[in-house]
A and B are shown apart, each in its own frame.
Chain A
């Protein structure tokens, strides 16, 4: 298996830094003064009980929400205001908790859609499908086929994703995110709703993506077993605040984390 100590040493420079970020929706404070960083080549987990602000955090990183205060540095550049498409162009890809695929399109087309940002030729060239546009399309298709091979989904290549079981749809969505060749891959609960076997498959793919392509991954996950197995470092959020930030083993023993998970009256019962 993976040796954490050697990986610790292998971790690269800071890819993304979140500093003192706060976010509120009207009177509801979703995030309060959260800071952490993601280093190149690591698998970083963000965990926390329901409503802790995990998805909000991801949405801030992704540019979907604008934080009220705080600073986000990506690849050494401080971002002021950021839109999702700009984040995508900058090398951040993501998958969604509740899937966001084109249900009527095939697996192949869905993944090919992930290459949209990489297409050089304009709309009219694409329609002509001639010369450079054709060559470009062939190249994109080759990359997509490599991903299909990598994720072992050749058998569903031509099937509309709406007809696929949930676990496979999740895999297609991962494929589409990979097609962007991102520097940072955000996975929002990649194993939610999966059975044990599907979870094991997915875990293996996440590790393989990280090792084979060297992609930095930030993932939100509920399943503690998965988090402990996969991640190099873990951020724990609770009620919008960071309560721990350490290796999986340390986090498991952290008193604050145990309290947040196992419960202590907060006025709301979970």
Chain B
């Protein structure tokens, strides 16, 4: 395992180091009252130290657990470091967690102190306070609305800092004590517990040491040559390992500046004002930007639209080659320059991506069209694959070796192997120290020789040598004839069509694959408007034969593309239907993070599933639904089922497969 300088093996030590070596460089910015406020590394140290001493006065000590709840604000990031300087362990919670989920995590982690952003979070804490016997102090950042609250256990963050400042000014020994407390921290100490939300069961607390996170961050910085001149914007949940590593550990390790947006809605404008150089976003962020652009372009004048369409098609053909530094004809290079002037440059400027050197997408599969679009206009978008248990990094794509369908090569210091059952395993310095208070679960995932079961099924792509993830391992099944069936892989292919919002592929243990589709009401609705299709509700639009035709064409394309892949060719979709209602978390069909709850859906729609396999061309279904105000009703419908054409796998590939 790599060793790190014992003087720089914890985050508070890194902060002191940064304040000493690059004290005048910006460490953090926050847009407040319309103006960017910044803090240098030296100022950050002062703020964190005052906060830290204040927390110590409130009773926070080594080994205590404390929580941080809220959106991306400098003070909440400082809270991490302020507590860690005392040897306490942060346990951040998702700001949108309902009080009940919050109570579970905080009780399980035995949290004694909470740093909450505002009234909303304080209210949640108060609501569940009787279930949190250990919680004895709540610190809040935003005083609005909290004036009249009982302040016996409640204190403003500013007041905590001024307690700290007073103490530091009054007692000369205090500074030395604080620095000793920082020096007492070791790389092998527990630095953070991050709770991961599972699709099944209660969430688990992933314990990461300083070493885990700092070595991972160092390696990532070296891999992409990130230095103190980078600018990033912090807008992803604080409690998520990605934000913790990108916006905190990597920033402290490289000394770069983290920018906090004004509000969640202003991220795009704020990003544009800062001109970030390094970006990380789940695919939906890129999808939303693109959809917004396309909708606006549809309203543009004919000339503008023509120019836009021409250059986008041109970028699709040549942009990636230019980005990867391949040889292209001079004329192409010239025309691309013109396109850059007219279309690509302004587009990137609108997105706030002009200065981006590297952009990552992870978390979910990204549509190849979207991926190619951004790369085509000259954005170096790459994929990575990671997990909380790995301190993020397992694989990443090196510059110039980008393929939309793979997730890259093993990150530095990471070893990967594929088990006999097809599951991806890894071993790295970032491997977590176990699940908090759950040795059973830890044993299931972490082998004695340090390998971690990711729970994902994947394989190394023979063409590129990069890892490809097909699905969650437990979801991968087989058809009756033994063909591999990876439902999510198929569903993702379907969902890349804007008209398809959700898809459920069924086939495990069956003769062939079928799919249930949810259309996207916005996309299909706008198509209906343009094509004079009249409809009154989702149900009516979903049942329209012309909508069926359109979806059938999409699935036909998916089948063609499945046929080209030797592993998946047997899993083409034979029959499909469009569901009469949208899948909804209120009905338990999706999780709150919009992931399918497959088992529940198949049970709920069993008459439809049956009809798929008994050859019926339509089926009657009645489902209970929960309306937004909580009352229940029943939706009944006759749903049509269509057959589809399938394609033979190319003979050559068949030969190789056999």
Contacts and interface: CB of A to CB of B under 8 A. Distances in A.
Contacts of B263: 152, 154-155
B439 interface: no
A139 to B, nearest CB: 12
A149 B265 contact: no
Given A208-B145, A212-B144, A155 B33 contact: no
Interface stretch (A72-80, A140-148, A224-232): A140-148
B266 A154 contact: yes
A157 interface: yes
Contacts of A158: 269
Interface residues of B, number: 12
A146 B147 CA distance: 18
A154 B262 contact: yes
B482 to A, nearest CB: 52
Contacts of B266: 154-155
Contacts of A152: 263
Specify the main secondary structure of chain B where it touches its partner. Answer: loop
A117 to B, nearest CB: 22
Interface string B32-45: 11110000000000
Contacts of A146: 33
Specify the main secondary structure of chain A where it touches its partner. Answer: helix
Contacts of A149: 32-33
Contacts of A154: 34, 262-263, 265-266
Nearest to A212: B144
Contacts of A150: 144
Interface string B416-456: 00000000000000000000000000000000000000000
A269 to B, nearest CB: 32
A208 B143 CA distance: 13
A250 to B, nearest CB: 26
Contact of B34 (A148, A208, A211, A212): A148
A145 B263 CA distance: 13
A145 B145 contact: no
Nearest to B34: A145
B34 A157 contact: yes
Interface in A198-249: 208, 211-212
Contacts of B33: 142, 145-146, 148-149
Nearest to A143: B33
Contacts of B144: 150, 208, 212
A154 B33 CA distance: 8
Contacts of A148: 33-34
A152 B119 CA distance: 15
Interface in A49-98: none
Nearest first, the 8 closest Cβ-Cβ pairs linking A and B are: A155-B265, A145-B33, A145-B34, A155-B266, A154-B262, A154-B263, A154-B266, A149-B33
Interface of B: 32-35, 144-145, 147, 262-263, 265-266, 269
26 contacts: A141-B34, A142-B33, A145-B33, A146-B33, A148-B33, A148-B34, A149-B32, A149-B33, A150-B144, A152-B263, A154-B34, A154-B262, A154-B263, A154-B265, A154-B266, A155-B263, A155-B265, A155-B266, A155-B269, A157-B34, A158-B269, A208-B144, A208-B145, A211-B145, A211-B147, A212-B144
Interface of A: 141-142, 145-146, 148-150, 152, 154-155, 157-158, 208, 211-212
